Structure 1
Amino acid sequence: MAELVLLANAGATLFMAGVIWFVQIVHYPLMGSVGRTHFVSYAESHSRLTSYVVGPPMLVEAATAALLLVIRPAEISFLAALAGAALVAAIWLSTAFLQVPRHEAFGRGYDRREHGALVATNWIRTLAWTLRGLLVLGMVWLTIR
């Protein structure tokens, strides 16, 4: 059971690490090219459709990160599981307090400052998911070797 929890955690984390790098390098920067005429419609569709892609893996990642604090392979230390859970918390807090408010502001129209702040603050999630990806790969490696 512990190995299954780790595998689900690794899958969700690595999926989200890939998504966040695409978002950070391609998707968010290109938002400024949409144009003012269609931006509100674009922003609303973006938020709705993105939630379908990232919602399930984020929930799986959070649930399995919490489970790893209690149920984990013998090779994985509590500190490693705690570091993983702390990174998940940082990602969720950044999402709730930094990125979501900027997406909500886009519902009123394009704002260059909000766009710049979105791209800048999203580096928090990009780095946290990258660190989580490396951490879970290390956990998987320790478990399978």
Structure 2
Amino acid sequence: MSANALAGTLLLGTHAAAVWFCTGLVWTVQLLVYPGFSAMERTGWVALHARHTRLMGRLIGLPWLVQGVTCAVLLVWRPPGVPLLLGVAAGVCGAATVAVTLGISVPCHERLARGFDAAVHARLTRTNWWRTAAWTLGGVVALVMLVLA
């Protein structure tokens, strides 16, 4: 295996691992954590939500950063066999997760940090499907790139 092919395999493997970690986490949040929020006692909600936010940040921070860096690399250099279109698709999926997080999820969590609000919780859960879809599609793109390389 050439050095170029090895570098490409490492890049794509790292990218796929980061994206699929995030994908698994977002599906867990979508199907388990967010629905569970509505069933929790309201006493102690602020502390519980603060703990969730703090731990989620620790869990997702590094893999999401790795996804971002590897997406950026894939936009300027791709292993042989991987078309630019797939690099762009990976970047669009990654950018969608950032846009939804910063534009919708963070404001919802900021509001929920002050106390449970059923309407805000419903919006957070509903719009999190967009992140779930973006990460899942990004994971599929990552696997296709691996196969093509």
TM over 0.5: yes
Question: Which residue of 17, 21, 26 corresponds with 2:23?
Answer: 17
Question: Which residue of 112, 133, 142 corresponds with 1:136?
Answer: 142
**Alignment partners' CA distance in 2, 1:122 and 1:81:** 24
CA contact 1:24–1:126 (8 Å) conserved in 2: yes
The Cα offsets for residues 19-51 of structure 1, whole Å up to 9 and x where unpaired, read as: 111110111110112221111000111101110
Question: Which residue of 64, 71, 84 corresponds with 2:77?
Answer: 71
* Runs (5+) with no aligned partner, structure 1: none
Partner of 1:32: 38
| AA matched with 2:83 | S
| AA matched with 1:63 | V
**Alignment partners' CA distance in 1, 2:140 and 2:92:** 14
- Secondary structure of the 2:107 match is helix
The question of 1:58 aligning with 2:103 is answered: no
Question: Which residue of 113, 129, 132 corresponds with 1:126?
Answer: 132
Q: TM-score, normalised by structure 2?
A: 0.93
Count of residue pairs the alignment pairs up: 143
**Alignment partners' CA distance in 2, 1:45 and 1:39:** 10
Percent identity of equivalent pairs: 38
RMSD: 0.8
Partner of 1:96: 102
* Runs (5+) with no aligned partner, structure 2: 1-6
- Secondary structure of the 2:68 match is helix
Question: Which residue of 88, 95, 108 corresponds with 2:114?
Answer: 108
**Alignment partners' CA distance in 2, 1:9 and 1:110:** 36
Q: TM-score, normalised by structure 1?
A: 0.96
